[in-house]
Chain A
């Protein structure tokens, strides 16, 4: 039993959940995205700066979440910073393939090692949403019209 738990709650996960990276609100930001997990009431908001070339130059987050969702969000922010929108979308696909048992696209390359620490989530289907919440929020942010998102 402890083995499954240990693979879910790896040291890296516990560390990121206790001291999340890029936590807070960057001002100004060009876009933001919100994620709601209706199952547990958790919420996350991502604040993103995308430059004219479509590169994510900065990203941060706020919100309350479980260890899995907080760690996943923290890792996400580290990973996508400096990446293009297209690369970020590709990472989302890789991440989803990793945590769900039936990958959408078997030709897609594997998730990078930084995300593999979350592979244990696959054994806990009820927790997949916790891990993917912030990725959905990122997708929402990147699809947002910048002006709309910052005007609220």
Chain B
């Protein structure tokens, strides 16, 4: 399948119809893939075909279309399983997004495992969706949430983590890549250290899966979650990978159709495997779109995607550093292609509005990571996040637009 010996970013750009659009009459410089990625034509086609040619509910009919739809939907599960190198299909649960996957684990595992006085360890790099679900269950169960600090460069402090790990720790939940500043967190080491103490680990892979190959068995992750829309797939689909040994013990998260074995008013028995956690009609078409997106990125190959993005990151960092009065937030040696910055005396919101007029789309704000913003003592930053379809012209357009902002406020 892999016939691309070199990485051709222009060819990839042509696969994404959005790049034909003009924004305020300008070329689109899309540097907001960290919030949500654009969709390639193959994904749009798969979505259309799933509705126009094969649509029916899954797992519920004996007729042709239901069977066809079920095959495609379950085929997407196999694509996800193979992509993550999960041991079995039962370990791949489809959710709405990362947020739902984390809430599922927090509520279900939390209900089963937490007692008053227990502790949950997170880090300062977390997205709100890997903080708030834990606070909710902690409050309910009388447990406490602890956060591993970082250094000024934005690196996870392993020694501090080891200090926090104790018999009270019942779960560790950390991000693989920081959405706000790009730090790649050494999750394999974190998992090994937690396992030494018998503590399971959830990894929030939302920002990792678009940039790198993930092998859940190699990491030995207990739970690994991500959201499809950042991986060039439709919205409304996410994945929870969980080791069977945990999923088997965990109580259902939501009740409804498809998650049962037999229902009577006296007692209901639950389905096993992933079905136990998939109540109701699932996001069928979105899952099919996710499968297609995964096949698409794998045809290109993460070795090439990673190399391309790292060279863009280096170029962007170098060019932004040349500007006066600009501060890059987060300077970890291992970073995904995300550059967060502030400009002296100019608020990120104003920067975002002004550079938008030049067709440059970035995220401005706290990036749902307020504890991290507090750590750096900034209310918000500008974040340029790169994906495989970005090129050096995008970096140049960003830097030009930043200079325009400086002239504007001069």
Closest CB in chain A relative to B4 CB, distance in Å: 37
A30–B12 Cα distance when bound, in Å, is 62
Q: Indicate if the CB atoms of B408 and A9 lie closer than 8 Å.
A: yes
Most chain A Cβ neighbours within 10 Å, of B24, B348, B370, B380 = B380
Task: Tell me, yes or no, whether B347 is within 8 Å of chain A by CB.
Answer: yes
- Bound form: Cα–Cα A69–B346 in Å: 12
Q: Is the CB of A40 within 8 A of B365?
A: yes
The interface stretch among A60-68, A91-99, A136-144 is A60-68
Chain B contributes a number of interface residues (CB within 8 A of A) equal to 22
A85 at the interface (CB under 8 A from B): no
Q: Is B349 an interface residue (CB 8 A)?
A: yes
A40 and B366 form a contact (CB under 8 A): yes
User: Which residues of chain A from 98 to 132 have a CB within 8 Å of any chain B CB?
Assistant: 124, 126-127, 130
Residues of chain A lying within 8 A (CB to CB) of residue B380: 40-42
> CB within 8 A of B349: which of A1, A5, A14, A68?
A68
Is the Cβ of B354 less than 8 Å from the Cβ of A40?
no
Report chain B residues within 8 Å CB of A9: 350, 354, 408
What is the chain A residue whose CB lies nearest that of B345?
A: A18
Chain A hits for B353, CB < 8 A: 5, 8, 124, 126-127
**Bound state CA distance, A40 and B350, in angstroms?**
11
Q: Say whether chain B's binding surface is mostly helix, strand, loop, or mixed.
A: mixed
Most buried by A among B347, B366, B370: B347
B265 within 8 A of A: no
**Would you call B409 and A41 a contact (CB within 8 A)?**
no
Whether A41 and B357, one on each chain, are in contact in the complex, defined by CB atoms closer than 8 angstroms, is: no
Q: How many angstroms from the CA of A64 to the CA of B349 in the assembled complex?
A: 12
A66: chain B residues within 8 A (beta carbon) = 347-350
Complex Cα distance A70/B347, Å? Answer: 10
Question: Among the interface residues B25, B370, B379, which one has the most CB atoms of the partner chain A within 10 A?
Answer: B379
**In the complex, chain B residues 313-355 whose Cβ is within 8 Å of any chain A Cβ:** 345-350, 353-354
Nearest to B367 among chain A residues (CB) is A41
Check if B349 sits within 8 Å of A40, measured CB to CB. Answer: yes
Within 8 A of B (CB), among A52-85: 64-68, 70
Check: A148 CB closer than 8 A to any chain B CB. Answer: no
A1 touches B357 (CB 8 A): yes
- B191 contacts the other chain (Cβ, under 8 Å)? no
**Interface membership of A39, Cβ < 8 A:** yes
B179 → chain A, closest Cβ, in Å? Answer: 15
Expressed in whole angstroms, the minimum distance between the Cβ of A25 and any Cβ of chain B is 19
Q: Which residues of B contact A127 (CB under 8 A)?
A: 349, 353
Chain A residues positioned under 8 Å from B357 (CB to CB): 1-2, 4-5
Interface residues of B in 338-396 (CB under 8 A from A): 345-350, 353-354, 357-358, 364-366, 370, 373, 379-380
A64 to B365, CA, bound (A): 13
Q: Quote the shortest CB–CB distance from B357 to chain A (angstroms).
A: 4
A67, B350: Cβ atoms closer than 8 Å: yes
Assembled-state Cα–Cα distance A67/B24 (Å): 22
A40 B379 Cβ-Cβ under 8 A: yes
Residues of B within 8 A of A18 (CB): 345
B25/A1 in contact, CB under 8 A: yes
Closest to A70 in B: B347
> Which residue of the partner chain, among B24, B26, B379, B409, contacts A64 with CB atoms under 8 Å?
B379
In the complex, what residue of chain B is closest to A65 when comparing beta carbons? B347
Residues of chain B in range 74-112 having any CB-CB distance to chain A below 8 Å? none
A64 to B24 alpha-carbon distance, docked (Å): 30
CA of A8 to CA of B25, assembled, Å? 19
- Bound together, the chains give a CA A39 to CA B35 distance in angstroms of 14
In the bound complex, do residue B24 and residue A1 qualify as a contact, i.e. CB atoms below 8 Å apart? yes
In whole angstroms, how far apart are the Cα atoms of A14 and B347 in the complex? 12
| Complex contact A40–B364 (CB within 8 A) | yes
How far, in Å, is A27 (CB) from chain B's closest CB?
25
* Given contact pairs A65-B347, A127-B349, A41 touches B373 in the complex (Cβ within 8 A): yes
Report the minimal beta-carbon distance from B381 to chain A, rounded to whole angstroms: 10
Give every chain B residue within 8 A of A68 (Cβ-Cβ). Answer: 349-350
The answer, among B345, B354, B365, B373, for a CB contact under 8 Å with A39, is B365
CB distance from A67 to the nearest CB of B (A): 5
Contact of A42 among B379, B408, B409 (CB under 8 A): B379
Which residues of A in the span 15-49 have a Cβ within 8 Å of any Cβ on B?
Answer: 18, 39-43
Instruction: Give 9 new A-B contacts, CB below 8 A, not counting A39-B365, A41-B380.
Output: A1-B24, A1-B26, A40-B364, A40-B380, A41-B373, A64-B379, A67-B409, A68-B350, A130-B349
**24 CB < 8 A contacts A-B:** A1-B24, A1-B25, A1-B26, A5-B357, A9-B350, A9-B408, A18-B345, A39-B365, A40-B348, A40-B349, A40-B364, A40-B379, A41-B365, A41-B373, A42-B347, A42-B379, A42-B380, A64-B379, A66-B347, A66-B348, A67-B409, A68-B349, A126-B353, A130-B349
List 6 tightest A-B contacts by C-beta distance, closest first. Answer: A66-B347, A66-B349, A41-B379, A41-B366, A1-B357, A67-B350
Instruction: Give chain B's interface residues, CB within 8 Å of chain A.
Output: 24-26, 345-350, 353-354, 357-358, 364-366, 370, 373, 379-380, 408-409
